[in-house]
Amino acid sequence: MKKRTRVTHLPDVALPPDNRALVAPIYQSVKFSFDDVAETERYFHARRAGYYYSRVSNPTLRQLELALADLQGRDGCLLTASGMAAVSASLLSLLRQGDRVVHFAEMYQPTRTLIRRVLGRFGVTSTLLSIDDLAGLERTLAETSVRLIAFESPTNPVLKVADIERITALARRHGALTLLDNTLAGVHSHGHYDIDLFVHSLTKYVSGHGDVMGGAVIARAELIESMRAELGVLGPTLDPHAAFLMLRGLRSYFVRRDAQCRNAQRIAEFLSGQPYVERVRYPGLASDPGHELAARQMEDFGTIVSFDIAGGLAAGSRFAEALRLFAIAASLGSTESLVVAPAMQQPRELAPEQQAWSDITPGTVRLSIGLEDIDDLIADLEQALAQGQA
Ligand SMILES: Cc1ncc(COP(=O)(O)O)c(C=O)c1O
């Protein structure tokens, strides 16, 4: 063969059966071939295992799917190119025209927009409640037919803790599915609750280093496999290299999470004693309204701390700009600490009553706590709080 043929038909290198790589190779291949048409057909009819086209399945993604499903206590997992793709693929797969979704004012804003604006265009109706209003949830379930309840715990950014046991019991009684965006609690949490679908932004704690985006839907295998064919036609597939970076992140997941939670607890305690801090929200504080429930329900108290700064929007911006170690940036769960100023997280698209449910005030600051030395972080917060009031 000539050189220009040889560069497209490279030599195969297979490891001997008793000789393994400790880190699995990245299957950075779009296509997988079979030796003959009959075997390809058998694969198509699910009569044999294998891989064919990476938009539908890929061995590197499969390794991550198995690991995440195991951590979340389920036997099925689907990976997507972002957390929002996991949320949208789940909702598009499970809902049809005329279905009603219950969701909450305290949820991640793009999820609310997806449910109300995008799915609304396709005839899906929705009811917005406060996650504190379980009596309202019970009334809604009794009065209308609800296909799905979508919620988060803890909520972002105010860290309200949802009562998962009560919500899932109500859902079962009324025949509604539950979808929990478990991003903030992490893939190791809440698996023992009767949740139908977990969704995660892997961009946060699984990646852990702020350099790759991804999402996951985790549920029982039967439900996941029925969704997989639809995901194939919707197309939000995770790239194998991104999956590899997630697998690498996963190896240090618990060590990072434990250290970040310890830092977050110390920071919440420090902020509680500060003069310009009006209210601290962190489930690990005994004074937090969600503390008792969080202590029963969560594996840890998380790595996000929010607080209301005296002086509202302007003081919040001055504070954020005065910080040296906390970057003004979106996202959370990476090794570095981040701040979201009040101006960047006002739920302006909600009606005034719904804004009140959200508990976000003009002074609400969200901190995502990283792995820096705790004394450096506290010193930085102390000097920035003083400057916020200048
Ligand atoms: C709770 C929650 N859900 C979903 C997402 C969306 O994740 P991604 O940015 O990976 O699409 C985020 C991102 O911040 C989030 O905080």
- Collapsed DSSP state (helix, strand, coil) of residue 152: strand
Cβ count near 325 (within 10 Å): 17
Best of 107, 201, 203 for a ligand 1 pocket test (most atoms within 8 Å of beta carbon): 201
Q: What is the pLDDT along the chain (390 residues), one digit of tens a residue?
A: 999 999 899 999 999 999 999 999 999 999 999 999 999 999 999 999 999 999 999 999 999 999 999 999 999 999 999 999 999 999 999 999 999 999 999 999 999 999 999 999 999 999 999 999 999 999 999 999 999 999 999 999 999 999 999 999 999 999 999 999 999 999 999 999 999 999 999 999 999 999 999 999 999 999 999 998 888 899 999 999 999 999 999 999 999 999 999 999 999 999 998 999 999 999 999 999 999 999 999 999 999 999 999 999 999 999 999 999 999 999 999 999 999 999 999 888 899 999 999 999 999 999 999 999 999 999 999 999 998 887
- Collapsed DSSP state (helix, strand, coil) of residue 23: coil
How far does the centroid of ligand 1 lie from the alpha carbon of residue 309, in Å? 25
What is d(CA 235, CA 237) in angstroms, rounded to the nearest whole number?
A: 6
Closest residue (by CA) to atom 10 of ligand 1?
A: 83
Closest residue (by CA) to atom 13 of ligand 1?
A: 331
Looking from the CA of residue 215, the nearest atom of ligand 1 is 10
* 8 A C-beta contact, residue 156 and residue 185: no
CB of 370 within 6 A of ligand 1: the answer is no
pTM here is 0.96
CA angle 4, 10, 12 (to 5 degrees): 165
Secondary structure (DSSP) of 27-71: ---SB---SSHHHHHHHHTTSS----BTTT--HHHHHHHHHHHHH
CB of 108 within 6 A of ligand 1: the answer is yes
108 classed as catalytic: yes
62 classed as catalytic: no
Per-residue tokens: 93: 């797969």
Helices (H) and strands (E) in the chain, counts: 15, 12
Best of 82, 84, 217 for a ligand 1 pocket test (most atoms within 8 Å of beta carbon): 84
